[in-house]
Amino acid sequence: MKKTLCMFLAMLMVLSLAACGTEKQEAPAAVAEGFRPALDTSTSCHITVAGGYDNFEALEAEFNRFNEYYPKAELVYTKIDDFNNMIGTVLNGNDAPDIYVNYSWMYGRDQYKSSIDHAENLADPALGLDLNCIRSNIILKTSDGTLPMVPVFSNTYGMFVNLSLFEKEGLSVPTTYQELVAVCNAFHEKGYKNAMMGFSKKETTSLFTLTAYPFFCGTVAQDAEAVKKLNTLDASAGEYILPTLEKIVQFLGEGCVDLDACAEIENNYDAVILRFFEGDVPMMTCSGDTVSGTKKRESRSEAFIANPFTYTFVPIPLSDEGANFLDMSNLQFSVNKESPNLEMANEFMRFLITTQELNEMAQNKGLMSPTRDLSFNSMYAAFGNVPESRILSPEVIGLTDDAVIQLRQAVYRVGTGEMTIDEAVAGYGSFTQ
């Protein structure tokens, strides 16, 4: 009898182990990489994510991946018109989203107070978000140590590089200012009319800002007193933008850029991409936002279709020591702490805030990932090679949006010849957007 019972128990153990083995094989692949559901996977709920994009296919792909774990959790993205001005009103309404887009520059501004006040503290250890996978310098530093938003995309300034042209002419992509000037001269000598171009019609992300802002950050990064004066729009702070203005004048004087040719580019997104795709411009200044639009426009450019080429995105080396990587957050997510589906909203964020998912979404969207590893995407890999000493974050430096607007206006007016350097220095604090 005892022998029979022992055999029966042994058989049950074998069957149990076999069942466990079968369950492991059927589990989603991502489970093996770290994410494990913390809630009842049969939970039914409706989660709304709100933002300003017309469409968000990259996020919707993440919804589908999340549904492998929670098949009855319905996740929907919805666009809000005039998002920046309307998100506060929407959050105070009856149809408030569970998760919503947020921006660091909204923090501390009265008109965006609702966007911050409704946000859950994502730094709460109980939520289990892997914040260590994100570059710490683009995580919002708040006065009370809470975290109302977490980056899902990042951004930077740099330039497209036509690698095929560099290879054809036997030239190397420049990494210092001296190399940049030398390679521009080399392209000119080889018959290229425009070695370097960029949008120049308006101040916002013009080629002047794209080249000057990373350089400027390098000049004030270690000077707390300068940052304080710049942020308070102290008129005497004009002295701190002087080196940058002088550098821009020097750069334009080198003959690298033909401003008249740049003025023919109608905007800093679609037109910049299509002009670069003509294939005759070795370098084109732009932001990471512009980079995100390239894939969809390759098929819209007759020139690119006829003569496709290899291209990438690299920092602009305006410094003698090398290029600075201006590291900025692009898009951030907040969780509405009053969401009726708060547990599942947090669960989705726990799923999303991982190196794998953030990189996947960034790759699909064409934007820079906020994670520590940039090597997975050849378009942005060059930024991952910049030494830590030259990775600069306005968030860490402490520069406010008001100070940046003053710099942009000064650089643009000097670059276009509207003002002299002395006039721009004296005008600091008085420029309007």
Residue 4 confidence (pLDDT) above 70: no
Each residue of 295-310: b (16+ CB within 10 Å) or e? eeeeeebeebeeeeee
CATH number at residue 257: 3.40.190.10
Q: What's the pLDDT at 201? A: 87
Q: What are phi and psi of 45, to 5 degrees?
A: -165, 170
Residue 157 confidence (pLDDT) above 90: yes
Alpha-carbon span 272 to 264, nearest angstrom = 10
Q: What pLDDT, in 10s, does the model give residues 308-329?
A: 999 999 999 999 999 999 999 9
Query: Is residue 215 included in any domain, yes or no?
Result: yes
Residues 274 and 398 in one domain: yes
Query: Is residue 130 included in any domain, yes or no?
Result: yes
Q: Choose one of 381, 396, 415: the last residue of a domain.
A: 381
**Residues of the domain holding 177:** 157-324+386-426
Residues 281 and 419 in one domain: yes
Alpha-carbon span 194 to 278, nearest angstrom = 12
Residues 252 and 239 in one domain: yes
Which of helix, strand or coil describes residue 155? Answer: strand
Residues 171 and 239 in one domain: yes
Query: Is residue 293 included in any domain, yes or no?
Result: yes
Query: Is residue 433 included in any domain, yes or no?
Result: no
The gap between the terminal CA atoms of the chain, to the nearest Å, is 91
Query: What single string gives the DSSP state of each residue in 33-74?
Result: GT----S-TT--EEEEEEES-S--HHHHHHHHHHTTT-TTEE
Residue 423 confidence (pLDDT) above 80: yes
Residues 80 and 115 in one domain: yes
Residues 402 and 363 in one domain: no
Q: How confident is the model at residue 268 (pLDDT cuts 50, 70, 90)?
A: very high
User: What are 262's two structure tokens?
Assistant: 């740049």
Query: Where do the H-state alpha helices sit in 124-176?
Result: 163-168
Q: What Rg do the C-alpha atoms of the chain give, in angstroms?
A: 25
Q: What's the pLDDT at 16? A: 38
Residues 139 and 76 in one domain: yes
Which of helix, strand or coil describes residue 31? Answer: helix
Residues 61 and 133 in one domain: yes
Nearest 5 degrees, angle CA 387-CA 370-CA 136?
65
Q: How confident is the model at residue 24 (pLDDT cuts 50, 70, 90)?
A: very low
The pLDDT of 123-152, averaged and rounded, is 94
User: What are 180's two structure tokens?
Assistant: 């940049």
Q: How confident is the model at residue 8 (pLDDT cuts 50, 70, 90)?
A: very low
Q: What pLDDT, in 10s, does the model give residues 239-259?
A: 999 999 999 999 999 999 999
Query: Is residue 195 included in any domain, yes or no?
Result: yes
Query: Is residue 431 included in any domain, yes or no?
Result: no
Alpha-carbon span 151 to 204, nearest angstrom = 22
Q: What's the pLDDT at 6? A: 40
| C-beta atoms surrounding 71 within 10 Å | 12
Residues 374 and 281 in one domain: no
Instruction: Give the pTM.
Output: 0.86
Top-confidence residue, 55 or 15: 55
User: What are 286's two structure tokens?
Assistant: 């732009």
State how many domains the chain has: 2
Q: Are 315 and 214 in contact (CB under 8 A)?
A: yes
Q: What's the pLDDT at 1? A: 43
Q: What's the pLDDT at 162? A: 98
Query: Is residue 2 included in any domain, yes or no?
Result: no
Q: How confident is the model at residue 224 (pLDDT cuts 50, 70, 90)?
A: very high
Q: How confident is the model at residue 433 (pLDDT cuts 50, 70, 90)?
A: confident
| C-beta atoms surrounding 160 within 10 Å | 26
User: What are 417's two structure tokens?
Assistant: 């010849």
Residues 183 and 272 in one domain: yes
Beta strands 73-79 and 157-162 are: unpaired
User: What are 321's two structure tokens?
Assistant: 């020591």
Q: Are 282 and 217 in contact (CB under 8 A)?
A: no
Residues 92 and 214 in one domain: no
Residues 376 and 403 in one domain: no
Q: What pLDDT, in 10s, does the model give residues 32-41?
A: 357 999 999 9
Query: Is residue 303 included in any domain, yes or no?
Result: yes
Beta bridge partners of 334: 100
Q: What's the pLDDT at 425? A: 98
The share of the chain scoring above pLDDT 70, in percent, equals: 92
Residue 3 confidence (pLDDT) above 90: no
Residue 218 confidence (pLDDT) above 50: yes
